[in-house]
Amino acid sequence: MAYQIIDGVRVWGNPEAGALAQAKTCVEHGNVVQALLMADHHKGYSQPIGGVIVYEGQISPSGVGYDIGCGNKAVRTNLLAADIRPRLGRIMDEIARNVSFGIGRVSNKKVDHELFDDPDWSVYAAIGRQEHDKLKALARDQLGTVGSGNHFVDLFEEAKTGRLWIGNHFGSRGFGHKTASGFINLAAGREFMANAPGEKMDQPPVLLDLDSELGDMYYRAMKLAGRYAYAGRDAVIRQVLAILGADVEFEVHNHHNYAWKETHGGRETVVVRKGATPSAPGQLGFIGGSMGDISVIVRGKDTEENRAAFYSTVHGAGRIMSRTQAAGKMNWKTRVRMGGLISEVQMQEAVRSFGVELRGAGTDESPFVYRKLQEVLDAHAETIEVLHVLRPIGVCMAGADEFDPYKD
């Protein structure tokens, strides 16, 4: 087996002390079946990123996190990357102009969707008409926007075939964030829309019994936010396809911040994956690297080790440097960042050397702040197989000062 067991936690890759301590805290609270750390693990809020906590009869709003349903979508187009290289710069400019990036942004073009007639909106109506109307209006405004932090829209060239792929990574935006904070408020006896004190990095998980009224309401709201995240990623892919004049031949779409009801070893469980990709045998996943590294399409293996992983794998390369360490602290009066370890020049040189057209982004998302994706994939070689290797040729992200501490 490629994993080790440390204080009951199954750990793939090199254990990171802070994330391991958070996983152990999770184990000490609630009906925990198993705790696991994928090879891209690092500290998060309450539950580590790259962490999987398996519960019996319980669900954790803090474990799922603030970006409910965050995930990746990748599509293989009918074009070759060579077909667009002469106009790649113009294409990336158009993506940056037409796709909305950043905290609080609203869609340039409102996207209507059958999701807004979903019966699970009744959860918010039960909480209060004001809450329902505010969240639904926010969801309508932001559908099809990408957000900040490590969220992206990328163009890729497949290593073996030269085919052009489109990929994106983001979640349920402000709607998901307010849903998470609202249920964390309710669990603490506060009003849904109250100003919450905020989570501390190492606090115990917030837990709800799945058969309680509040647990059932959260589960339904989480699923709605997950469907919203899928709809948003679909909408952005359609925008980029229109810019390219391309059609889809094949797609892969998955969450990595979510809670799934699953049966493992004959036992009904709730698997809370924060920054971890489901990898059941035959299941496909899109795993992104940094802007200066490969991304991959993987498939879950039918192995004993994958069963031991509760059919979970990495969601990315994993941070090795915090945003503040990389970019420094912002002086909001002067709008100048100070003390960052990575300069803009370093980032641009690294990205150019990898052959990438970059739009937006900041040094907090530079290749220097992440592990190499191949390193974490190697740690999971017995659980997943790599089907397609994708090299980024165009990367579009929010600007340097658009990151949100709750993003993974």
Q: Which residue positions form the known binding site for GMP?
A: 256-257, 288-291, 295, 315-318
- Amino acid identity for residue 204 in this structure: P
Ramachandran area for residue 206 (φ above 0: left; ψ -120 to 50: alpha; else beta): beta
Is 42 annotated as catalytic?
A: no
Spatial contact of 38 and 52, defined as CB atoms under 8 Å apart: yes
The CA-to-CA distance between both ends of the chain, in Å, stands at 28
What is the distance between the alpha carbons of residues 3 and 6, in angstroms, rounded to a whole number? 10
Structure tokens given for 406: 């709750």
Catalytic member of 41, 42, 177, 315: 315
Spatial contact of 18 and 37, defined as CB atoms under 8 Å apart: no
Binding-site residues for Mn(2+), please?
67, 151, 169, 256
What is the distance between the alpha carbons of residues 230 and 71, in angstroms, rounded to a whole number? 8
Phi, psi of 225 (to 5 degrees): -65, -35
Q: Show contacts of 217-222: CB within 8 Å, 24+ apart.
A: 217/123, 217/126, 217/127, 217/183, 218/59, 218/61, 218/183, 219/59, 219/259, 220/120, 220/123, 221/120, 221/123, 221/124, 221/179, 221/183, 222/59, 222/61, 222/64, 222/68, 222/69, 222/179, 222/258, 222/259
State how far Cα 186 lies from the chain centre. 25
Residues classed as catalytic: 315
